Amino acid sequence: MKKRIYYHDTDSGGVVYYANYLKYMEEARTEFFEQRGIFIGELVRGGTSFVVARQEIDYKLPAFYGDILDVSTKITGISTAKIEFSHQVKNQNNQVITVAKTIMVCVDGNIKPKAIPGKLKESLAFVPEEVRPE
């Protein structure tokens, strides 16, 4: 996913505020699902959603106002109720800005863990592992 950095993404020094990378990764995961025909709103209405159970992030270089970031997302593991995503953010010069791992847990409408529905798990397991929306 391409992401242009606007003024509101930065701190007073023009550097991307560190927590904003979590938003960019969330957006990339949403794109990842949608490119597979999986729409979060439909899942939620059907009683299935995902919550972040663990987040790891390493900041390698700063990104700045005006940069164009490339946020790549891939699944690195799926179990009964969890999906592990790997993220990498690069700038327009192909320099790695951040790398991260996000573990999502499938939950029901009461936020109780549940098994990932079979059809959903199939959709995630039999597709290319990396998505780069145009």
Catalytic hit among 11, 67, 70, 108: 11
Pairing of strands 130-131, 96-107: unpaired
Q: What tokens appear for 54 in the block?
A: 């663990």
DSSP string, 34-103: HTTT--HHHHHHTT-EEEEEEEEEEE-S--BTT-EEEEEEEEEEE-SSEEEEEEEEE-TT--EEEEEEEE
Determine whether 70 is an active site residue: no
On the CB side of 96, CA atoms within 13 Å amount to 10
- Encode 42-59: b = buried (16+ Cβ within 10 Å), e = exposed: ebeeeebbbeeeeeebee
Task: List, by residue number, the catalytic residues.
Answer: 11
